[in-house]
Amino acid sequence: MNTEANIPVAQSASDANSSVLFRVVNRVAVITLSRPKALNALSHDMILVLGAILRRCRDDSEVVAVVLRGAGDKAFCAGGDVRSLYEKALGKDRSWVQFFADEYRLDYAIHKFPKPVIALLDGITMGGGMGLSQGAWLRVTTERSKLAMPETRIGLVPDVGASHFLSRLPVGTALYLALSGATASGPEAVSLGLADVCVPSEWLESFEERLVSTPRSRLDLAVPDVLHRSLRMVFGAGPQAETEHFVPRLLPAINAHFPASKTVTDIVRSLEDSLEVEEDPVRTDWLSRTRDALASNSPLMLNVTRASILRGREAPLGECFRRELDVVMRCVEEGDFVEGVRARLVDKDNQPAWRPASLAEVDQDRVRHFLSSPWSEGDHPLADIERNFP
């Protein structure tokens, strides 16, 4: 069955007919984020429509799998609509809380989806894009992929389930990615555990042809092993994409500098000490870039992020999303988010006035405050996430 329909997702007619596209190709639903000029960033309306489409696909026995992809060749999804959230926060409009709650429910649904979800991470995949993809059964990158969780750069914390999906990685890798906001290429993402396969972008451009030619008998939920093998042949069996790939060489350094036992201050000091004696140019470059990233990110959010990631390693998925919403609420209303977005994305002076300004000034009682919930247990917007999600 081949069907195609545009799904209304926004106020204007043109946006309503373009932001999320949905079609079914040979029993596989193909969902396209279609805001290429905005790098397919998620609006609240898009999140709601994506949830509705997932419910439809979950309940339709003729749909055996779901593909998530981005329009254009630059991005799968660069994140959420941060400028809109910034403007609402400035205007004391608390509707942004519902944005995060609905986004987290959507991400939770993907983690728990009863049918295979394939995420095609061709191009920029950051923030909200990572939330959509990390719960997928098959995560496919290309030579154009750039994966990252750069939230500390704008005074936020890695969210959208990051405290859960990063917990599946070695602790050093998890803390490095969360604190530094480092970008991984397609092959690097596979090495780090953020993707399952890396293929040339040209391979993905022709996936529908391979899907159409796959016998329907091989796309049957009643025979999951055959279904999974068939989907891997369609999406993940292309030749290995070739890009620069330094991760294997850097993993020992990552593990040495980012153990769970080190505070953020300890990590920075460790990086600086190694810079004084390191002779390998690749590791020297990595040490310098990592130290500079930590030095430029919000000191408070670095500390909160470290604690959030470590706590997530011991919490179930639903609890991770609830805790992340708690922290985001504090970040937007009491923390560095507004200032971070102003400096990085609005005025672009890249001189955020972080509060506090240095790691030495961070009060650990304030860190614990940011990790506490502003809601009582029964009033939490995600109290029922395990029972009620798209």
Q: What is the DSSP letter of 41?
A: P
Whether 336 is catalytic? no
* Helix, strand or coil, per DSSP, at residue 371: coil
- Cα–Cα distance, 55 to 384 (Å, whole number): 17
Assess contact for 329 and 183: CB atoms under 8 A: no
Instruction: Mark out the alpha helices in 236-386 (DSSP H runs).
Output: 247-257, 264-275, 281-296, 299-312, 317-334, 337-341, 364-370
288: which 2 tokens? 């310098």
Query: What angle, rounded to 10 degrees, do the helices at 299-312 and 264-275 form?
Result: 110
Query: Which of 128, 238, 312, 335 is flagged as catalytic?
Result: 128
- Cα–Cα distance, 176 to 173 (Å, whole number): 5
> Helix, strand, coil % (nearest 5) of the chain?
50, 10, 35
211: which 2 tokens? 């899907």
Q: Which residues of 68-105 are buried (b: 16+ CB within 10 A; e: fewer)?
A: bbbbbebbbbbbbbbeebbebbeeeeeebbebbbbbbb
Query: Which of 51, 70, 79, 80 is flagged as catalytic?
Result: 80
Whether 159 is catalytic? yes
Q: Which of 118, 190, 187, 125 is nearest to 160 (CA)?
A: 125
Contacts for 162 with CB less than 8 Å, ≥ 6 apart: 130, 131, 134, 149, 178, 309, 312, 324
For residues 100, 101, 103, 106, the Cα torsion angle rounded to the nearest 10 degrees is: 170
Whether 238 is catalytic? no
Whether 51 is catalytic? no
Query: Which of 107, 151, 196, 324 is flagged as catalytic?
Result: 151
Query: Which of 81, 103, 122, 159 is flagged as catalytic?
Result: 159
Catalytic center residues: 80, 128, 151, 159
